[in-house]
Amino acid sequence: TLCFTGVSGGYSIVNVRFDPEQQTLSLLTGGIPAAGHQSGRQLLDDFVERHPWIGSMLSGGARVIPIGPPMARFDDGPLVRIGDAARQVFAAHGSGIGAQLIAAEALATTLADGNSPWDYSRRWHRTWGSHFCGSVAFARFSRSLSTEDLRDLFATGLLAPRLAGRALVQERLGLGAHVLPDVAGMLLGAAKAPRWLARMAPLAGVMARLELHHSQYPASPDRVSAWGAARDALLDRMIPPSA
């Protein structure tokens, strides 16, 4: 597997995987087609054009993925949203399949316990909300990064490989002793590279505040709208959408 990141803006990727048994090549691309950057489909077409040894397409497709903050409430009368319809996408790398499985399990467990669809919204946000909303903050931050920036962040230790790997599989990190070694490494990296502090401080700050905010998800449905507006304002103020 080869992975090319930051190929057209910080939030872009070309992932190439070869299956020696099937003799097939899988290509996964993605990006935000704004500010002169290419879309995922354009990245795919360009990559195939530059490598004429790649054969004809066997299967594939392209679609738009919602990478904004999850909806504040998922239930609407008899209807319940999960996955993309609820903006339950791990925005740091645009993955939605794992998020849909998490949401489906949360909904099934909630209903099996005899609770209402409203309780599913509350359970999901208190358990997973800060994790997914924090990934939106990181996605916005990553748009400003170049390939050289990414190399520098890993070289200094500010982006810990173990934490990055856990993020790729959408593992909920939370705040606890299990992340202290990685946090210590990041602090040492910050000491070695103070130039990054001003850029990363808002990201660290908003993630901590999102953790607290989601732990206070309302117990009453009539307070959710105000809670969601406050969350979005917090995120937009600390990490603007154009960041």
Q: How many helices (H) and strands (E) does the chain have?
A: 9, 5
User: One-letter amino acid identity for 198?
Assistant: A
> Per DSSP, which regions of the chain are E strands?
2-5, 12-19, 24-31, 75-76, 79-80
**pLDDT value at position 150?**
80
Q: What is the arrangement of strands in the sheet containing 24-31, beginning at the earlier edge strand?
A: 2-5, 12-19, 24-31
- The pLDDT confidence band at residue 156, using thresholds 50, 70 and 90, is confident
| pLDDT of 115 over the 60 cut | yes
Question: pLDDT, tens digit, for every residue of 121-134?
Answer: 999 999 999 999 99
| Rounded-to-integer distance, Cα 64 and Cα 96, Å | 11
- The pLDDT confidence band at residue 190, using thresholds 50, 70 and 90, is low
The token pair at 13 is 């990727």
Higher pLDDT, 12 or 144: 12
**pLDDT value at position 181?**
60
**pLDDT value at position 239?**
87
The token pair at 176 is 């606890």
CB-based burial label for 199 (10 Å; 0-12, 13-18, 19+): middle
Q: What does the DSSP 8-state code read for residue 10?
A: S
**pLDDT value at position 187?**
64
User: One-letter amino acid identity for 213?
Assistant: H
Among 90-94, 128-132, 183-187, 207-211, where is mean pLDDT lowest? 183-187
* Count of all residues that appear for the chain in the document: 243
Mean pLDDT of 150-162: 75
